[in-house]
Chain A
Amino acid sequence: MRYVWISLLLIILVFAVVFSAFIGSVRISPIKILEIYGSQIPFISTYIPHNFTSVQYEIIEQLREPEILGGLVVGASLGIGGAAVQSIFRNPITEPYIIGLSSGASLGAVMTIVLGLSFLGFYTMQVSAFAFALLAVFIVYFFALRGGKAHPTYLLLTGVAMSFFISAIVALLLFSNINLQGEAFFWLLGSLEDITWTLLYPVALVVIITSLVIYSLYRELDAMQMGDHHARSVGVNVERTKKLAIFMVALGVSASVSISGLIGFVGLVMPHLSRILFGGSNKYVIPTSGLLGAIFLICADDIARGLVTGVVIPIGIITGIVGAPFFLYFMRKLTGGRYEG
Chain B
Amino acid sequence: MKVKLQGVRYRLPNFSLGPIDMDVEPGKIYVVMGKNGSGKSTTLKLIHGDIRPSEGTVLVDGVDASKIGFIQLAKKIAFVWQEIYNPLSFTVKDVMNVSGYSRDADEDDIFKALSVLGIERFIDRDFNLLSGGEKRLVTIAAALYQDSEIIIMDEPTNFLDIDNQILVYNLIRDLRNSGKTLILTLHDIDAIHNISDYVLILKDGMEVAKGPTRETLNVQNLRKAFNVPFYTYDTVNGKSFVGAMK
Binds A, one of B28-36, B86-94, B111-119, B203-211: B86-94
Kindly state whether residue A35 has any CB partner on chain B within 8 Å: no
Which residues of A from 81 to 109 have beta carbons under 8 Å from B? 86-87, 90-92
Kindly state whether residue A227 has any CB partner on chain B within 8 Å: yes
* Residues of B close to A336: CB separation below 8 A: 126, 129
The listed residue (B75, B86, B90, B101) touching A219 by CB distance below 8 A is B101
| Closest-CB distance, B208 to chain A (whole angstroms) | 27
**Distance, CA A333 to CA B94, complexed state (A):** 23
**Binary interface encoding of chain B residues 55-98 relative to chain A, with 1 for a CB under 8 A from any of its CBs, else 0:** 00000000000000011011101110100111111110011011
* Residues of A close to B43: CB separation below 8 A: none
Kindly state whether residue B102 has any CB partner on chain A within 8 Å: yes
Q: Tell whether, in the assembled complex, residue A92 and residue B50 are in contact, meaning their CB atoms are under 8 Å apart.
A: no
* Residues of A close to B146: CB separation below 8 A: 234
| Dominant SS among interface residues on chain A | loop
The answer to whether A234 and B126 touch (CB under 8 A), given A280-B88, A339-B89, is no
Q: Tell whether, in the assembled complex, residue B90 and residue A223 are in contact, meaning their CB atoms are under 8 Å apart.
A: no
Could you tell me how many residues of chain A have their Cβ less than 8 Å away from some Cβ of chain B? 32
| Tally of A-B Cβ pairs under 8 angstroms | 100
**Binary interface encoding of chain B residues 223-241 relative to chain A, with 1 for a CB under 8 A from any of its CBs, else 0:** 0000000000000000000
Kindly state whether residue B194 has any CB partner on chain A within 8 Å: no
The answer to whether A232 and B50 touch (CB under 8 A), given A275-B88, A341-B85, is yes
| Closest-CB distance, A227 to chain B (whole angstroms) | 6
Known pairs A91-B87, A220-B101, A236-B70 / 13 extra A-B pairs, C-beta < 8 Å: A225-B90, A227-B84, A230-B98, A234-B78, A234-B100, A236-B101, A237-B70, A275-B88, A281-B94, A281-B97, A335-B89, A336-B129, A338-B129
B contact residues vs A (CB 8 Å cutoff): 45, 48, 50, 70-71, 73-75, 77-79, 81, 84-91, 94-95, 97-102, 126, 128-129, 146
Enumerate the 4 nearest inter-chain pairs by beta-carbon distance, A residue then B residue, closest first.
Answer: A235-B74, A235-B102, A280-B89, A233-B79
